[in-house]
Structure 1
Amino acid sequence: MSTTSAPEALPRPTRLSDVKGWFFPADQMLFDWFLGRQRDRDQLGDLLELGAYLGKSAIFMGSYLQGAETFTVCDLFDSPAPDDPNSKEMNRSYSTLTRRAFEANYRSFHEELPEIIQAPSSVVADEVTADSCRFAHIDASHLYEHVHGDILAVRELLGPDGIVVLDDFRAEHCPGVAAATWGAVATTGLKPLCITATKFYGTWGAYDEVHEELRGMLRGRDDLWHGVEEVAGYPMIRIDGKKTKAPAQPVSRYEAEAPAPPAEPTTRTGGFARLTRTLKGRR
């Protein structure tokens, strides 16, 4: 009689920094600012992430859900890629990615999982309602054709004044992302709000007010540098966030289960110590 052992339990992250991924403090600060601004202005709408890896940015985004809003995450995870170039990319960069690992990480910080589409990002336009989202993070394939399609899909899914974020738009190993990003600025009306070392932030909606508020916030911070450069007729903000202080982090549901610091050692030498002091006092 053969038996199948239960899968080994995955470690429970107790801090966001325990989750592997590339989501740096400058971008955490900007996600917090854009999503917090939407919350403060009662701007409702769903959240969307294309490409989740092990869930670091998804965990962060999930903290900003309001009321009946939906958070949708689309990723291949451990499913086969739809074409050979994408398959090679997955095998090279994301061979350890599994849906089970993502779900375990996400559930460490949130009781309920997001809506998960385990499929190529090309299906997202058929699964998410048009004009329903207020914030979308594109971090799926690095191949031009796929990123170009993701941008066009997100353009239809974002509601009025929605924000889109594109990852790896300037990485040397991802020229397709750069081509798709700046191509969208040149041809689709995507307006560049700001860039960091790793991400591009833009909108197809109202620009001036959010841009001025963003500049005002940045002027009040002493932990980063920013400058303005005219791009496609818009004063895009460049941000150097190497010293940026990260905002408040999502709190793990298992934080209380983290090992307590070791207690002071207890010994049975207390009587001996008292006797030693007594003898010294008699000298």
Structure 2
Amino acid sequence: MTLTPTASEPAGDELPAPASLAEVKGWFFPVDQVLFDWFLTRQSELTEPGDLLEIGAYMGKSAIFMGSYLRSGETFTVCDLFDSPARDDANSAEMRYSYSTLTRRSFESNYLSFHDELPTVIQGLSSLVRDRVQAASCRFAHIDGSHLYEHVRGDIEDTRTLLHPHGIVALDDYRSEHCPGVAAAVWEAVATGGLNPVCVTGTKLYGTWGDPGPVREQLLEFLAGRDDLWHAVEAVAGGKLVRVKGAGAVLPAQPPSRHHREEPPVEEAPPVKAPATPEAPAVRRRSPLRRLVLNVLPPFVSKGFVRLRAALRHQA
């Protein structure tokens, strides 16, 4: 286990401690969170044994999520270069372009905002993983490291060795235009390397080197009950491939942050009492006798009658 200062000890220009998973930088979209949750929960319900593995951690968003499914006695291994130098020019250039702000301390600080202990951290090239992780020991692996064909191809080959026969691998950027090397390596594994796709989203392909039939059928049953997810089945490379979309997917339970901030209750303002409407002056109604005098008698007679009536009312 790697020791590190806790997340409550910020240093330098580090970002504030995240109060929720949404505040952790990264590209871990809702539909993939739903699928990670489904695959990992299914493995727990079936008591399938195995550890967890992630190659390529960035700021730790997906690692934090995966760490919530770690069971007693299991190991979670995370491998990333972080701020270590790469050994070849192409990989060094990629690190400078895509991950210039990435540091191991930022990852560990984020992770410790959600979990009590760090995973086993391998800082260096992903080729180190095969010597640090036991063969056939993992049940779920997330590969999101280098975008270069040679490195991705090696990561996939190593992952095949490290996974249980029932294990699931999630491969990121299998179709992104900015990293064609990943697509080449992933589809090569499907075409000639025995990888059986289960499903794809806009960013990740999920597959297994075991029998994909049972997990695929159970996934289709799950998707049939989700109104927030769209899915379809395609025939690919002699097998079935489930396509899943869900920009508005309802997120599964999120790992709680120790820095979660409760929103202060909103006090309702007392109702504003409308100003009283001034009462209209009372309209004095004319008596029938007065109306008759005014309408029938000549004006000089009616005016005299009115003055006489007023004088009598005043004396009364």
Q: Same fold (TM over 0.5)?
A: yes
2:242 is matched with 237
**CA deviation vs aligned residue, 1:36-93 (integer Å, no higher than 9, x gap):** 0000111121000000000000000000001110000000000001110000000000
Contact 2:143–2:155 at 8 Å: present in 1 too?
A: yes
Contact 1:80–1:87 at 8 Å: present in 2 too?
A: yes
Q: Does 1:114 align with 2:114?
A: no
Q: Aligned partners of 1:108, 1:56: CA distance in 2, in Å?
A: 11
1:261 is matched with 264
Contact 2:18–2:110 at 8 Å: present in 1 too?
A: yes
Shift, 1:160, TM fit: 2.0
2:137 is matched with 132
Q: Which runs of 5+ in 2 are unaligned?
A: 1-10, 269-316
Q: Does 1:175 align with 2:152?
A: no
Q: Does 1:219 align with 2:230?
A: no
Aligned to 1:34, the other structure's residue is in SS state helix
1:59 to 61, 64, 71: 64
Shift, 1:25, TM fit: 0.4
Q: Which amino acid aligns with 2:67?
A: G
Q: Which amino acid aligns with 1:29?
A: V
Q: Does the C-alpha gap of structure 1 residues 263 and 190 become closer, same or farther in structure 2, counting only changes over 3 Å?
A: closer
Aligned to 1:73, the other structure's residue is in SS state strand
Shift, 1:254, TM fit: 2.0
1:23 to 28, 32, 37: 28
* TM-score, scaled relative to structure 1: 0.89
Aligned pairs for 1:86-105 (under 5 A) are 86-105=91-110
**CA deviation vs aligned residue, 1:202-241 (integer Å, no higher than 9, x gap):** 0001211111000110111111211111111111001122
Q: Which amino acid aligns with 2:189?
A: A
Aligned to 1:193, the other structure's residue is in SS state strand
**CA deviation vs aligned residue, 1:133-159 (integer Å, no higher than 9, x gap):** 000000000000000000000000001
Q: Does 1:188 align with 2:193?
A: yes
CA RMSD, 1 decimal? 2.1
Q: Aligned partners of 1:137, 1:7: CA distance in 2, in Å?
A: 30
Q: Aligned partners of 1:61, 1:16: CA distance in 2, in Å?
A: 12
Larger radius of gyration: 2
Q: Which amino acid aligns with 1:179?
A: A
Aligned to 1:23, the other structure's residue is in SS state coil
Q: Aligned partners of 2:158, 2:33: CA distance in 1, in Å?
A: 24
**CA deviation vs aligned residue, 1:83-133 (integer Å, no higher than 9, x gap):** 100000000000000000000000000000000000110111011000000
Q: Aligned partners of 1:54, 1:214: CA distance in 2, in Å?
A: 29
Contact 2:14–2:106 at 8 Å: present in 1 too?
A: no
Shift, 1:262, TM fit: 7.2
1:40 is matched with 45
Greater Cα shift, 205-214 or 58-67? 205-214
Residue identity over aligned pairs, in percent, reads: 65
Contact 2:81–2:125 at 8 Å: present in 1 too?
A: yes
Aligned to 1:201, the other structure's residue is in SS state strand
Shift, 1:245, TM fit: 1.3
Q: Aligned partners of 2:14, 2:157: CA distance in 1, in Å?
A: 39
Q: Which amino acid aligns with 2:264?
A: P
2:272 is matched with none
Contact 2:31–2:249 at 8 Å: present in 1 too?
A: yes
Q: Aligned partners of 2:263, 2:127: CA distance in 1, in Å?
A: 46
2:151 to 146, 152, 157: 146
2:211 to 197, 206, 222: 206
Q: Aligned partners of 2:13, 2:179: CA distance in 1, in Å?
A: 35
Shift, 1:10, TM fit: 4.3
Greater Cα shift, 97-106 or 234-243? 234-243
Q: Aligned partners of 1:160, 1:189: CA distance in 2, in Å?
A: 12
